[in-house]
Amino acid sequence: MIKTNTTKQNRIEIRVDKNNKNLIEKAAQLLGESTSSYILRHSLRAVIHDIGEHETLVLTGKDKELFYSLITNPPKPNKNLVNLMSNHPLQ
């Protein structure tokens, strides 16, 4: 859930044309919100969505099968990996 009732000390300003401002104010008024609350609520939804899109990996089809196969049945380490790990033991 989006939390918007904390102490607000920071400010973001945007410039919009008159038509867009009127549309935003009308939508906020229809929902009984201040313009700032309306913009913040919708902006945060978009922010969460955009971050999720960039931080989520979606695998389908063969990629998903290959990933699952490698996780459940990992290949044995090759000689180079064994040498590397012997030089850098886990702590």
Tell the residue number behind the tokens 């899109």, with chain if given: 53
First to last CA, the chain: 39
pTM for the whole structure: 0.59
- Helices (H) and strands (E) counted in the chain, each on its own, are 4, 0
- Tens of pLDDT, residue by residue over 20-68, are 999 999 999 999 999 999 999 999 999 999 999 999 988 999 999 999 9
